Structure 1
Amino acid sequence: MMLPTHALVGLAIALPVSVAFPEFASLCLFSGLFGGVFPDFDLYIGHRKTLHFPVYYSVLSLLVIPAAVLVQTPWIIGITIALVAATVHSVMDIFGGGLELRPWEATSERAVYNHFHDHWIAPRRWVRYDGAPEDLLLSLSIAGPLLFVVEGRFLWIVVGALAVSVSYVVLRRTLATIAETLVENFLKKMLPDSLLAYLPARYVR
């Protein structure tokens, strides 16, 4: 799924907790947002492997949830929400497309890396690829309730995420062509081999 979808899911995960603990509302929502997008910080460094841990995040979440219920301090609650959001992100990507420049071609069998079993999990393609129409539908369905509940900067984050989602869906296939052209016509000619080695394989044919 696209990053705005994960951001909105993170906020949605945090929303019930922010309502239950209004004094921690901002912390809860920020934690959900951060945890929702954090795994994709590996976008250009071993994407869906370096920071995607569907098994380990799940185990950590199960360990800290009881502590958050019992202790209920801001930091424990924030860490728990972030971990749960990162877990959901990592698992959600399994149900999307494969790790390739044009995932609608469905040629990749790599969705998310399972570090526990040391192998790639195959994509389920319930959402065919990031930026697919069904991905936008998912974003819209999650954003709907958030628009009526969150306020201030978080409301603007939701609105911004929707704007980015719509734009990304419209431009998704064009962006793949632009990226490939940029790599082939510019980066390969300008960068030394030592730096080209860091380009994700999906950008190099």
Structure 2
Amino acid sequence: MMLPTHALGGMTLALSVAFVAPEFTGVALVAGFLGGVFPDADLYAGHRKSLHYPVYYTAFALLALVVAGLSPSIATVAATCFLAGAAVHSVTDIFGGGLELRPWEATSDRAVYDHYRDQWIEPRRWVRYDGSPADLLVSLTLAVPLLVALGDPLRQVVLGTLTVAVVYTAVRRLLPTLAATIVDDVLAPHLPDHLLAYVPTRYREVEG
């Protein structure tokens, strides 16, 4: 799923804090947002493996929840919501497309790496690919309770995230060709090989 969906998912999950400890609502929502986007920091280095931990994030989130329940504070609530957001991100990526440059072609059998079992989990493709209309629908659905419950400035964060989601969905199918063109026609002729090696191989797939 696309990054805005993960960000909104982390925030929506953290919104539950408003009902049990409203004094921590702000920090919970910010931590949920950050946790929701954090795993995709591995986009250019071992994507969906280096920072995606569907089992371990979940385990640590549950442990943090117990600690926060026993000793609620800014730190414990923030840690719980961050880990929960990262866990949901890592798990929900399993239900999207694979790692191929054009995931709507369904050619990859890799969705998320399971470090606990030391193997790749296959994509379920309930949402065919990140930035698909179905993915945008998930983003819109997640945003509804946030827009109803929150005031500014967090409401503006939600609206901004939705704007990114809409734009990304509109251009998603153009991005593979654009990325491959930039890499092959702009970067490859000018970058030395040792730097070009850091560009993920999927961005050099010019066919299709």
How does the TM-score come out when normalised to structure 1?
0.97
Asked if 1:72 is matched to 2:72, the reply is: yes
Tell me, what secondary structure is at the counterpart of 2:49?
A: coil
Q: What is the CA distance between 1:182 and its match in structure 2?
A: 0.5
Q: What is the CA distance between 1:202 and its match in structure 2?
A: 1.1
Percent of aligned pairs with the same amino acid: 56
**Number of residues of Structure 1 aligned to a counterpart in Structure 2:** 205
Distance 2:148 2:62 in 1: 30
Tell me, what secondary structure is at the counterpart of 2:188?
A: helix
Q: Tell me which amino acid in the other structure corresponds to 2:129.
A: Y
Q: What is the CA distance between 1:154 and its match in structure 2?
A: 1.2
Q: What is the CA distance between 1:151 and its match in structure 2?
A: 1.5
Q: Tell me which amino acid in the other structure corresponds to 1:133.
A: P
Q: Tell me which amino acid in the other structure corresponds to 1:201.
A: T
Instruction: After superposition, give the CA deviation of every residue in 1:53-84 in whole Å (9 maximum; x if it has no partner).
Output: 00111111122211111111121111011111
Instruction: After superposition, give the CA deviation of every residue in 1:88-109 in whole Å (9 maximum; x if it has no partner).
Output: 0000000000001111011011
Q: Tell me which amino acid in the other structure corresponds to 1:130.
A: D
Alignment of structure 1 residues 87-166 onto 2, 5 Å: 87-166=87-166
Q: Which region of structure 1 is more displaced relative to structure 2, 89-98 or 169-178?
A: 169-178
Q: What is the CA distance between 1:187 and its match in structure 2?
A: 0.9
Q: What is the CA distance between 1:17 and its match in structure 2?
A: 0.2
Q: Tell me which amino acid in the other structure corresponds to 1:81.
A: C
- 1:168 equivalent in structure 2: 168
- 2:11 equivalent in structure 1: 11
Q: Which region of structure 1 is more displaced relative to structure 2, 107-116 or 55-64?
A: 55-64
Q: Which structure has greater helix proportion?
A: 1
Q: What is the CA distance between 1:152 and its match in structure 2?
A: 1.4
Tell me, what secondary structure is at the counterpart of 1:101?
A: coil
Q: RMSD of the alignment, in Å? A: 1.0
Distance 1:145 1:62 in 2: 24
Q: What is the CA distance between 1:18 and its match in structure 2?
A: 2.8
Runs of 4+ in 1 over 3 A off after TM superposition: none
Distance 1:45 1:22 in 2: 38
Structure 2 stretches of 5 or more lacking a match?
A: none
Asked if 1:25 is matched to 2:35, the reply is: no
Q: What is the CA distance between 1:21 and its match in structure 2?
A: 2.0
Tell me, what secondary structure is at the counterpart of 1:189?
A: coil
Tell me, what secondary structure is at the counterpart of 1:198?
A: coil
Distance 1:105 1:167 in 2: 21
Tell me, what secondary structure is at the counterpart of 2:172?
A: helix
Is the CA contact 1:94–1:123 (under 8 Å) kept in the aligned structure 2?
yes
Distance 2:19 2:195 in 1: 47
Distance 2:106 2:57 in 1: 27
How does the TM-score come out when normalised to structure 2?
0.96
Structure 1 stretches of 5 or more lacking a match?
A: none
Tell me, what secondary structure is at the counterpart of 1:120?
A: strand
Distance 1:196 1:106 in 2: 27
Distance 1:191 1:153 in 2: 42
Tell me, what secondary structure is at the counterpart of 2:16?
A: helix
Tell me, what secondary structure is at the counterpart of 1:113?
A: strand
Q: What is the CA distance between 1:200 and its match in structure 2?
A: 1.1
Alignment of structure 1 residues 193-204 onto 2, 5 Å: 193-204=193-204
